[in-house]
Amino acid sequence: MKPKFTFIDLFAGIGGFHHALDKIGGRCVLACEFDEEARLVYENSFPSENGKNYKFVENIRSITRHAIDDENSLKTPRQINRIVPDHDLLCGGFPCQPFSKSGEQRGIRDTTRGTLFFDIVQIIESKRPKYLFLENVRNIAGPRHEDTWQTVIGSIRELGYHVSSNPMIFSPHLLPPSRGGAPQVRERVFIVGVRDDLANDPLISIAEFNNELIEKKLWDPSQWRIADFLDADTAIPNLQQYEISDNELMYVNAWDYFVKNIDTDHLPGFPIWYFAFTEKPEITQGMPDWEKNFRVKNSAFFNEHRSFIKEWSQMRWGAAKQKVGEFPQSRQKFEWQASKYHPSKRGRTLSDLVLQFRPSGIRVKPPTYLPALVAISQTSVVGPALRARSKGKFRKLTPIEAARLQSMPESVYSTKIVSDQAAYKQLGNAVNVGVIRAVAEILVGANVEPEKKVGVQKQLRF
């Protein structure tokens, strides 16, 4: 079948853009990914067969330079044009590198040269696709990176594209399940561009993206149930490898006892620090204000619950028989963020909640939606009361479950192509398929009634 549109997938990762665009009638003509293990997963998901052949490039600079490591060996637009197939949509989650303020500030070739964004610029300049669809972390549009944001937007405009100055920030936990949403808080910035000669087409209006995806309340995230995205323990091969370690269980049991038994309906919203449970806050010269604040609050909390905390501090936990004060300092820190789920002491427990073992402490969340998957070892831990046919132990998400939170097909990791560690890293770097699809449907008009050229709001059939 003839595709509705064609696209190239730059910095492709494991294929989040490809999964989304394929579902709405797009066909990939070129993919580019540097990481070898990510390429294995990508090519397993999208084998070049059945008339869906696409070119796969390992290094984007093999497209844009004669010598990959030589910044002065740039290929001409004509040379790039011969390498990259024609396409309607250029997409990618590009790495954000700092842009130079040096030189004569002659525009994009001066400010972005040497960065991977500059390689995207070269391809756009050479191929002039109709649409651009880029993704990045939320911070790229934050106050600390204002220069970077302005450079990216200015560069796209200088290339002849209509793009909004206002960042479009969206997360899959705000999309309903019927549209591919998922219970993961993953706010990302999406940059959508339309070539200037198409920008006046009434089918395209950049302003409508915020109206359709952000200003409208599409879904109440409190309706999510993480349990719906989890496999029964009995269905997981090698279940033990996902269960938390004995030491981690020791930390959890100590804090679970604390949560269940301390005589207060409302646990503090500030981080609880065991080592700061002192009668008077231990303030030192040069201590930052935020730390002073936490120590003052922890001292007040300790004085209010002195008897219980002193008794708890003498208890020993796990096979190692350690007291809380003997835990690593990061495990003496506890962040309770589940007050809405457990508004009172009654029935309060960690077993029906979500945990994260972070450098900043053990963070506890309600079972409605998960923190963002990250590319380091901070995989969320789900309590046994959350899961069907539970074996009674806290365990980490499996790669297949994590893929569901990225709205990806289970087939992506149903075959053991890469290690679990690699899979978690890949998913932490990936885009969410549901969100990509929701934005792309507006951008390329995938669900537009062709006989009617009306505003985007009237075109969309949710």
Q: What is the pLDDT of residue 29?
A: 95
DSSP label at residue 237: T
214 and 138, same structural domain?
yes
Which of 40-49, 269-278, 385-394 has the highest mean predicted lDDT (pLDDT)? 269-278
246 and 216, same structural domain?
no
Q: Is residue 410 domain-resident?
A: no
306 and 281, same structural domain?
yes
Q: Is residue 404 domain-resident?
A: no
238 and 199, same structural domain?
no
| Coil vs helix vs strand at 44 | helix
Q: What is the pLDDT of residue 94?
A: 84
Q: Which of 396, 419, 443 is the last residue of a domain?
A: 396
- Asked if pLDDT for residue 128 goes beyond 50, the answer is yes
- Asked if pLDDT for residue 101 goes beyond 50, the answer is no
Over residues 318-324, the mean pLDDT reads 96
Render pLDDT for 373-413 as a digit per residue (tens, 0 to 9). Answer: 887 767 899 999 988 788 889 999 999 999 999 999 989 99
Q: Which of 344, 369, 396 is the last residue of a domain?
A: 396
Q: Is residue 204 domain-resident?
A: yes
353 and 282, same structural domain?
yes
Q: What is the pLDDT of residue 290?
A: 96
Domain count along the chain: 2
How far CA 107 is from CA of 110, 154, 248, in Å, comes to: 6, 8, 52
Q: Residue 26's domain is classified under what CATH number?
A: 3.40.50.150
Q: Is residue 159 domain-resident?
A: yes
CA 338 – CA 348 distance, rounded (Å): 10
Q: Is residue 453 domain-resident?
A: yes
Q: Which helix (H) or strand (E) holds 304?
A: helix 289-304
Q: Is 219 left (phi over 0), alpha (psi -120 to 50) or beta?
A: beta
269 and 199, same structural domain?
no
- Buried-exposed string 445-456: b where 16+ CB fall within 10 A, e elsewhere: bbebeeeeeeeb
292 and 376, same structural domain?
yes
> Phi and psi (nearest 5°) for 161?
-130, 145
For residue 110, which amino acid is it? D
Q: What is the pLDDT of residue 217?
A: 66
For residue 34, which amino acid is it? F
pLDDT tier for residue 212 given thresholds of 50, 70 and 90: low
Q: Is residue 28 domain-resident?
A: yes
State percent of the chain over pLDDT 90. Answer: 66
Range of the domain at 382: 231-396
202 and 135, same structural domain?
yes
For the record, the structure tokens of 11 come out as 């910095």
Report which of 127, 93, 12, 101 is spatially closest to residue 58, judged by C-alpha positions.
12
Query: Which of 28, 32, 91, 96 is the catalytic position?
Result: 96
Point out the least confidently predicted range of 82-91, 117-126, 261-270, 366-375.
Answer: 366-375
Query: pTM to 2 decimals?
Result: 0.87
Q: What is the pLDDT of residue 409?
A: 92
CA 14 – CA 74 distance, rounded (Å): 28
Q: Is residue 416 domain-resident?
A: no
240 and 215, same structural domain?
no
pLDDT tier for residue 183 given thresholds of 50, 70 and 90: very high
Q: Which of 372, 396, 420 is the last residue of a domain?
A: 396
Q: Is residue 415 domain-resident?
A: no
For residue 382, which amino acid is it? V
Is residue 83 within 8 A of residue 105, CB to CB? The reply is: no
Q: What is the pLDDT of residue 455?
A: 33
For residue 150, which amino acid is it? Q
Note if 32 is an active site residue.
Answer: no
300 and 206, same structural domain?
no
Over residues 21-46, the mean pLDDT reads 95
300 and 205, same structural domain?
no
376 and 437, same structural domain?
no
